[in-house]
Chains A and B, each alone.
Chain A
Amino acid sequence: MNTVAPAEHRINKLMIANRGEIAVRIARTAHRLGIDTVGVYSATDARAVHVNAVDSAVALGGQTAAESYLRGESIIAAALAAGCDAIHPGYGFLAENADFAQKVVDAGLVWVGPTPDQIRILGNKVAAKHVAIAAGVPTTEITEVAPGSIPDGISMPALVKAAAGGGGRGMRVVRTPDELADAVEAAAREAQAAFGDSTVFVEPLIEDGRHIEVQIIGDSFGNVIHLGERECSIQRRNQKVVEEAPSAGITDETRQIVLAGAVALAKSVGYQNAGTVEFLVGADGTITFLEVNTRLQVEHPVTEAVTGLDLVELQLIVASSGSLPVTQDDVSITGHAIEVRLVAEDPTTGWIPSTGTIMLFHIPGDMRVDTGFDTGSEVSPYYDSLLAKVISHGRTRGEAAAALARSLRTTQVVGISTNANMLVALLAESDFLAANTPTSYLLDHPEVEADTGVSGDDRLALLLGAVFASEFSSRAADAVTGFAPSGWRNLRTTGQRQEWNDGGEVRWTELVMGHDTADVLIGAWPRAGDDGSLQEDTRRHVSVRLLDRGPQHQVIEIDGIRARVETVVDGDSIHCRSAAGVASFALEPRFEVHRAVGPGAGPVSPLPGTVIAVHTEVGDEVTEGQLLMVVEAMKMEHQITASADGLVTEVLFAIGDRVTQGDLLVKVGPP
């Protein structure tokens, strides 16, 4: 790490106006530089990791971002009250809000970021395109769309984009001219809703492109340097999943063009602080400038890994009117870095977000992990789903990928679904390893998203880990016959049979325990066939030796192969981890709780009385709770309703009929 040049206006106390991993990460550098930190937190985040990472923290209240981290006025007031002299916005929330940046500056605080004007100009994609064109940066033509009009002469395929915002909102792909009008209208409506600005423009769609971005940083003395490029092509619905530096999929010529272009663009506006210039590089080598992100990026650690620089440190230096302590010539790229985003979403179920309490948070390996979560943290639905960034730096791309895959394979987040399996599959996938990673990579590789992790005998070892963990905790809980050998029988007919839910699939185990051995049958036990005789037993038999056992681990030898399985027992759910990977298994309940057994044949009269109304007839499809009849008894009108969905097969009484208690009134058969 380079030493820091003496700052002209040293920052002594920094307000970090963000949450999660980025707040933790900023605080780490600040503390190393001797800067005190003040954090903020929503009511939801009161016990979050980032609150512990700062020296002191100010409660903003609220749950949603709008109620908390977007309350710029409160944050500035808190910064002033706490004696801060600067605000670092992190990314997201207020990071690219020019008005907020202006208020920070107006309040006499240092804004750790580009100037409000730079944010304003570059934050508008249309304006930024003009700047790019003026600076000679390679880009494709764009067509601005006047409000309410539909442009013509657009070559297909094309992309309709919102001028403001990002993250794929207000964006539409158009393949034929007749789709254009709808796409423009929809994009404008979405942009208005999301960003309060309905301006949209149209640009040529580059398919099979690569997302290449250049990290730049400038100071207030007009110095702008780049810190190399990153490739972030692997995305899901415009959300980056894997980022790396340098790009393995572009030529040196392209690299020089984007690096020089990015610096030229930044210099043309006198860019101060850290920023990212994004390009799309087509399969044919076409380079298109996309936009400038006027903030620190999520994926900045890969640049830090290969350059050895601390981007937050550089940000703080230039923000406090220091000059850049490094020149372009000082910047060299060493090895290859890959970052993956571990998110609380399950790719196998369409990336459904997962929320709740993290019972165990374990990311092994000797690599950088930026996270705002730990064991015991809550994942709330109010903020984004990023759990952690795991960054691997190796001599080569292959080495970085292998080390990262190894770490993620045994990453275990208990209580929350993650995309870890998908990341492991991706890091070992041949197109990825060959750097064939256009932005359509995940669409081209559905098997990566569908990956369910460790398989075969490695998964069997995890299942057995669950079986023995469950057995261990059951025996420990037996307060009356805990002394007896597990599942002991003097007349044995079967072993201990259990059904496990393994990611939606049922796995059957039958266990007979010895003293420090066990026999396990794997697979469905024989059921009776049509004639009542048991079907052939085709289960796999495994012999297990129990080498070392505890409430949180099972060391077992399965047919001569040793495995150590770490286990977390959460009621009937057991979360297992071995060197081969992780898996969770849930013991299927032995009994189904049936609804109170309703009338077998239909509704009955509660009392002796008279039928005063009939509301159904034979052949009616009735639903549970539907009124069928009214019986007057003891001066009360009793409504007779269907106890379950069904088909009326017989109406046994008519208006005026006398009924006695318990009489079946209507026969309702299966629907």
Chain B
Amino acid sequence: MRYCLRPCSTVANLGRVSKIGTPLASKLDPRSERFQQNRDAMTHLWAEVAEQLASVPGIGGRRYVDRHRKRDKLLVRERIEMLVDPHTPFLELSPLAGWGTQDPVGVGIANGIGVVEGVECAITGTDMTYRGGSMNPSSVTKGQRFHEIVRENRLPLIVLNESAGADLPRQVDIFVRGGESFRNLTQLSRLGIPSITVAFGPNTAGGAYTPGMSDYTVFVKERGTAYLGGPPLVKMAIDEIVDEETLGGAEMHARTSGLSDYLAADELDGLRHVRQIVRHLRWQKLGPGPTEPADPPLFDPAELMGCASADVRIPFEIREVYVRVMDGSRFEEFKPLYGDKLVCGWGSIHGFPVGVLGNNGILFSEEAAKGAQFIQLCNRTDTPLLFMHNITGFMVGSAAEQGGIIRNGAKLINAVANSSVPHFNLMVGASYGAGNYGMAGKAYNPRFIFSWPNHRIAVMGPKQLAGVMDIVARNAAAGRGVEVDEEKLLAQTTALENQIETESTALYSTGRMWDDGIIHPSDTRTVLGMALSAAHSNEIVGATEYGVWRH
């Protein structure tokens, strides 16, 4: 009789472990000039991102941060640090939302995925130091994206709330669509996804429905309040003069109205209550756990810094990314000799099996058809899909059109649109035009999208776009029979190219929440692992039905 003293998976039991794929070789030379140029350029781009990230916790300004601390209150990220299990990772989502907009970077809420009592939870908190934690148009968008993530991945939701409500002067861009968040909370509840709200401060007006629609509420004594109308409004409306505590204080809600399920002695006690609640949920993930050997890649993920071309117009080998992301650098390539500009195949990341599609150039008919077939195969085996975007678009031209590029492209879009396994987008380069759609871009509802700092996204490259507009202008002029003002057209074209260049950057994209965050390329494996693990909180079920295939 032999005993296994340590928990042994079937994998560990086998003398020779069978694995998906075989190790890929790398041709990347970290000493080459090109690698070093790429790495230097990426380092420079990351420095810009890092600087933005560092600014986020202080967007409220020193004065308001100090005032918050003076009141013996924790900053939102300090609350999160105290809430999550020690030494576990925390993946903040859309940390630079709002970049380049009227709203500050981060938009005044912190969203992310962290581990509480051993359970991956979606955690969101308001930053009271920025305009009293009030909602702005970007924070509404960021919140709605977060609710999507919560619902699709089936993550228990923890809300660390204190908010003055809507930023009233900006109510036009907030009020009407803002109501969705309360609908979301109750629909999450209907789906069996619990929400736990802690009131650290005011929950005013519509904001009062955040605790109102939550499964569990914790109010911090003498701090948390909730009322539909604050004392000034009550005085205005019904001429009642009342203090905050009587109107909507934590004690009142805990003892009298019943809105508060737990009365916390202080902020830390509130977080303790949350942990206790999560503990009793006895949460079980519905997806299979990691099933594959999770050995690290054979090649250093830090070399991802020099993999991608600094200039998105210079192609690079997508397999160099694969060997630094996949477990053991293993990859089983599908149809390697057909449609070779879309590199498809199977592997695993931190033990989670994935089907990967990555671009080694633009999409032709073959690539589109191959991708569609691969996506169907992965759906058949409930295998999540990872799309690595480095795509400047579908092939154009008469040969392509006559070869049915639209018909074949339609297959790919049919497949990605109707695929039901989780999709993960990793933007490692350009994502232009219909290529973005074919690669299951934002509009195709991927579970998560993460970008490298060199990412570019637009309907097409800035030069092409400006060039197209140049030709259109010349044609229009010719049609009207007028002379082209070369100087003026050049100025227009240059200005347009610059505008598109600016609007195509990773920061611009993340600012508009076209992704869920820019990540350091070296962190790719960690981030994808966390995203995959979060996605496995829900069941993984592939699609069997699609739209009509245009054969």
Please tell me if A3 contacts chain B, counting CB pairs below 8 Å. no
- Closest chain B residue, CB of each to CB of A480: B120
Tell me the A235-259 residues at the B interface (CB within 8 Å). Answer: none
Assess A490 versus B268: contact at CB under 8 Å? Given A475-B87, A481-B120: no
Tell me the B327-360 residues at the A interface (CB within 8 Å). Answer: 350-351
Query: What is the interface residue range for chain A against chain B?
Result: 35 or more
Please tell me if B152 contacts chain A, counting CB pairs below 8 Å. no
Query: What is the interface residue range for chain B against chain A?
Result: 35 or more
Q: Does B526 lie within 8 Å of A484, measured CB to CB?
A: yes
A534: chain B residues at CB < 8 Å are 69
Q: Does B69 lie within 8 Å of A532, measured CB to CB?
A: yes
B65: chain A residues at CB < 8 Å are 532
Tell me the A478-492 residues at the B interface (CB within 8 Å). Answer: 478-481, 483-491
Q: Does B264 lie within 8 Å of A597, measured CB to CB?
A: yes
A590 and B84 CA atoms in complex are apart in Å by 11
A531: chain B residues at CB < 8 Å are 66, 70
- Closest chain A residue, CB of each to CB of B252: A662
Assess A490 versus B87: contact at CB under 8 Å? Given A591-B269, A594-B265: no
Q: Which interface residue of B69, B119, B290, B519 has the most chain A CB atoms within 10 A?
A: B69
Please tell me if B39 contacts chain A, counting CB pairs below 8 Å. no
Please tell me if B251 contacts chain A, counting CB pairs below 8 Å. yes
Q: Does B256 lie within 8 Å of A478, measured CB to CB?
A: no
Please tell me if B530 contacts chain A, counting CB pairs below 8 Å. yes
A481: chain B residues at CB < 8 Å are 88-89, 115, 120, 529-530, 533
Q: How far is the CB of A190 from chain B (nearest CB, A)?
A: 51
Contacting chain A: which of B74-82, B402-410, B420-428, B480-488? B74-82
Please tell me if B91 contacts chain A, counting CB pairs below 8 Å. yes
A591 and B273 CA atoms in complex are apart in Å by 10
B255: chain A residues at CB < 8 Å are 604, 662
B275: chain A residues at CB < 8 Å are 591
B115: chain A residues at CB < 8 Å are 478, 480-481
Q: Does A532 lie within 8 Å of B118, measured CB to CB?
A: no
Please tell me if A149 contacts chain B, counting CB pairs below 8 Å. no
Please tell me if A1 contacts chain B, counting CB pairs below 8 Å. no
Taken residue by residue from 37 to 59, chain A's Cβ proximity to chain B (1 for < 8 Å, 0 otherwise) reads as 00000000000000000000000
B66: chain A residues at CB < 8 Å are 528, 531-533
A590: chain B residues at CB < 8 Å are 82, 86, 268, 272
A533: chain B residues at CB < 8 Å are 62, 66, 69
A488: chain B residues at CB < 8 Å are 89-90, 523, 526
- Closest chain B residue, CB of each to CB of A515: B302
Q: Does B89 lie within 8 Å of A474, measured CB to CB?
A: no
Partner of A490, one of B62, B264, B523: B523
Q: Does B269 lie within 8 Å of A594, measured CB to CB?
A: yes
A596 and B82 CA atoms in complex are apart in Å by 21
A470: chain B residues at CB < 8 Å are 86
Q: How many A-B residue pairs have CB under 8 A?
A: 125
Please tell me if A593 contacts chain B, counting CB pairs below 8 Å. yes
- Closest chain A residue, CB of each to CB of B70: A532
A485 and B88 CA atoms in complex are apart in Å by 8
- Closest chain A residue, CB of each to CB of B350: A483
A592: chain B residues at CB < 8 Å are 268-269, 272
Q: How far is the CB of A641 from chain B (nearest CB, A)?
A: 17
B371: chain A residues at CB < 8 Å are none
Q: How far is the CB of A468 from chain B (nearest CB, A)?
A: 10
Please tell me if B56 contacts chain A, counting CB pairs below 8 Å. yes
A490 and B517 CA atoms in complex are apart in Å by 9
Please tell me if B53 contacts chain A, counting CB pairs below 8 Å. yes
- Closest chain B residue, CB of each to CB of A604: B255
Please tell me if A560 contacts chain B, counting CB pairs below 8 Å. no
A481 and B528 CA atoms in complex are apart in Å by 11
Taken residue by residue from 452 to 489, chain A's Cβ proximity to chain B (1 for < 8 Å, 0 otherwise) reads as 00000000000000000011001101111101111111
Q: Does A474 lie within 8 Å of B517, measured CB to CB?
A: no
Q: Does A490 lie within 8 Å of B527, measured CB to CB?
A: yes
A489 and B265 CA atoms in complex are apart in Å by 29
Q: Does A484 lie within 8 Å of B81, measured CB to CB?
A: no
A485: chain B residues at CB < 8 Å are 89, 526
Please tell me if B469 contacts chain A, counting CB pairs below 8 Å. no
The majority secondary structure among interface residues of chain A is loop
- Closest chain A residue, CB of each to CB of B120: A480
Tell me the A635-666 residues at the B interface (CB within 8 Å). Answer: 662
B526: chain A residues at CB < 8 Å are 483-485, 488
A493 and B74 CA atoms in complex are apart in Å by 12
Assess A474 versus B269: contact at CB under 8 Å? Given A528-B70, A597-B263: no
Partner of B256, one of A487, A513, A662: A662
B90: chain A residues at CB < 8 Å are 488-489
Q: Does B87 lie within 8 Å of A494, measured CB to CB?
A: no
Partner of A484, one of B88, B256, B290: B88
Assess A478 versus B88: contact at CB under 8 Å? Given A483-B351, A528-B69, A594-B265: yes
Assess A496 versus B264: contact at CB under 8 Å? Given A531-B70, A533-B69: no
- Closest chain A residue, CB of each to CB of B221: A597
A594: chain B residues at CB < 8 Å are 265, 269
Q: How far is the CB of B84 from chain A (nearest CB, A)?
A: 10
Please tell me if A497 contacts chain B, counting CB pairs below 8 Å. yes
A528 and B92 CA atoms in complex are apart in Å by 25
- Closest chain B residue, CB of each to CB of A484: B89
Please tell me if A148 contacts chain B, counting CB pairs below 8 Å. no
Please tell me if B68 contacts chain A, counting CB pairs below 8 Å. yes
Taken residue by residue from 593 to 608, chain A's Cβ proximity to chain B (1 for < 8 Å, 0 otherwise) reads as 1100100100010000
Please tell me if B271 contacts chain A, counting CB pairs below 8 Å. yes
Please tell me if B377 contacts chain A, counting CB pairs below 8 Å. no
B527: chain A residues at CB < 8 Å are 490
B53: chain A residues at CB < 8 Å are 490-491
Please tell me if B177 contacts chain A, counting CB pairs below 8 Å. no
Taken residue by residue from 262 to 303, chain B's Cβ proximity to chain A (1 for < 8 Å, 0 otherwise) reads as 011100110110010000000001000010001000000000
Q: How far is the CB of B535 from chain A (nearest CB, A)?
A: 12
B294: chain A residues at CB < 8 Å are 483
Please tell me if A297 contacts chain B, counting CB pairs below 8 Å. no
Partner of B87, one of A487, A591, A593: A487
Assess A493 versus B88: contact at CB under 8 Å? Given A480-B119, A591-B272: no
Please tell me if A498 contacts chain B, counting CB pairs below 8 Å. yes
A410 and B523 CA atoms in complex are apart in Å by 42
A487 and B81 CA atoms in complex are apart in Å by 10
Please tell me if B244 contacts chain A, counting CB pairs below 8 Å. no
A498 and B517 CA atoms in complex are apart in Å by 29
Q: How far is the CB of A533 from chain B (nearest CB, A)?
A: 5
Tell me the B173-214 residues at the A interface (CB within 8 Å). Answer: none
A185 and B118 CA atoms in complex are apart in Å by 66
Taken residue by residue from 60 to 73, chain B's Cβ proximity to chain A (1 for < 8 Å, 0 otherwise) reads as 00100111111110
A491 and B78 CA atoms in complex are apart in Å by 12
A484 and B519 CA atoms in complex are apart in Å by 15
Q: How far is the CB of A516 from chain B (nearest CB, A)?
A: 13
A498 and B75 CA atoms in complex are apart in Å by 18
A497: chain B residues at CB < 8 Å are 81
Assess A483 versus B529: contact at CB under 8 Å? Given A478-B85, A662-B255: yes
Taken residue by residue from 406 to 446, chain A's Cβ proximity to chain B (1 for < 8 Å, 0 otherwise) reads as 00000000000000000000000000000000000000000
Tell me the B43-69 residues at the A interface (CB within 8 Å). Answer: 53, 56-57, 62, 65-69
B88: chain A residues at CB < 8 Å are 474, 478, 481, 484, 487
The 7 A-B pairs at the shortest CB distance, nearest first, are namely A532-B70, A532-B66, A488-B89, A528-B69, A484-B89, A591-B272, A594-B265
Task: List 6 contacting pairs A-B, 8 Å CB cutoff, sorted by A.
Answer: A478-B85, A484-B526, A491-B56, A494-B78, A496-B86, A594-B265
Give 12 new A-B contacts, CB below 8 A, not counting A532-B67, A534-B69: A474-B87, A488-B89, A488-B523, A490-B53, A490-B95, A493-B81, A531-B66, A591-B268, A591-B271, A591-B275, A597-B265, A662-B255
Which B residues contact A (CB, under 8 angstroms)? 53, 56-57, 62, 65-72, 75, 77-78, 81-82, 85-92, 95, 115, 118-120, 221-222, 251, 254-256, 263-265, 268-269, 271-272, 275, 285, 290, 294, 350-351, 517, 519-520, 523, 526-527, 529-530, 533
